[in-house]
Amino acid sequence: MKPRSKKPWRFSHFQRRVLKAVIHLIATGYLVALFYLGVNDQLGPDPVDALLNETGIWAIHLLFVTLLLSPLAKRLPSPEPIKFRRMLGIYVFVYAIAHFFTYAFFELQLDWHLLTSELVKRPYIVVGMVALILLMALTVTSLSVLRRKMGKQWQRLHYSIYAILPLALLHFSWSQKTFWQAPIFYWLIGLIIMRGRITRTAAKTVKRLKAYQ
């Protein structure tokens, strides 16, 4: 019997465009609906808190999906998941920046003096800020022209996506004042998604250490 050729599976151009349009519709639609309901006082007793929670948690959900795309591409195998990586990565940033704006506009009311005391009182906000700055750097440099210009530096910078996940999870757990309940599940999901990369990095480190001996 002839061995079956392992041709990578692909979407047609049309299918890919439809799927991207659906993702845009859901991701933008949900954010617009959240702010519409929040501004019109229809998000429960504390709309600012609800907005903060929803934008923050969905930034993490989208980050999970973005990080799953590379292992998925290898597993299928197919180049298709990678074609959605940039788009979903940008939505992680959009939700995270919406989360920051909610905090700055609605909670702080743009009182920047208050921010200083907040940073001392709630240091997890500093962790969130570091994650947001890294996300911003990745989003800005996701432009093809910058990718070409930056060469090898681009790849190095984009590895910081693996630092953003633990930073975001630390910020989340700290804001909840516990690692138990919801945060522990998120850490577990994060570990499962990162398991391949963690084992590869550990193996490389062991190899390097052995080479030095």
Among 50, 53, 68, 154, binds ligand HEM (CB under 6 A): 53
DSSP assignment of 26-95: HHHHHHHHHHHHHHTT-S-S-HHHHHHHHHHHHHHHHHHHHHHHHHHHHHTT-SGGGGGHHHHHHHHHHH
Rounded CA separation 141/125 (Å): 24
Number of residues binding to ligand HEM, judged by CB under 6 A = 21
Q: Which CB sits closer to ligand HEM, 16 or 118?
A: 118
**Least distance in angstroms from the C-beta of 167 to ligand HEM:** 8
Query: Is 88 within 8 Å of 76 (Cβ atoms)?
Result: no
Among 57, 72, 90, 194, binds ligand HEM (CB under 6 A): 57
Q: Which CB sits closer to ligand HEM, 85 or 99?
A: 99
Q: Contact letters (x/-) for ligand HEM, 147-186, by CB under 6 A?
A: ---------------------x--xx--x-----------
Among 99, 138, 161, 170, binds ligand HEM (CB under 6 A): 99
CA dihedral 148, 154, 159, 165 (to 10 degrees): -90
> Which of these segments, 36-44, 49-57, 75-83, 197-205, binds ligand HEM (CB under 6 A)?
49-57
Q: Which CB sits closer to ligand HEM, 69 or 80?
A: 69
Burial 2-30 (b: 16+ CB within 10 A, else e): eeeeeeeeebeeeeeeeeeeeeeeebeee
Rounded CA separation 188/9 (Å): 30
Q: Which CB sits closer to ligand HEM, 9 or 162?
A: 162
- Residues within the interface to ligand HEM (CB under 6 A): 49, 52-53, 56-57, 59-60, 63, 96, 99-100, 103, 125, 128-129, 131-132, 168, 171-172, 175
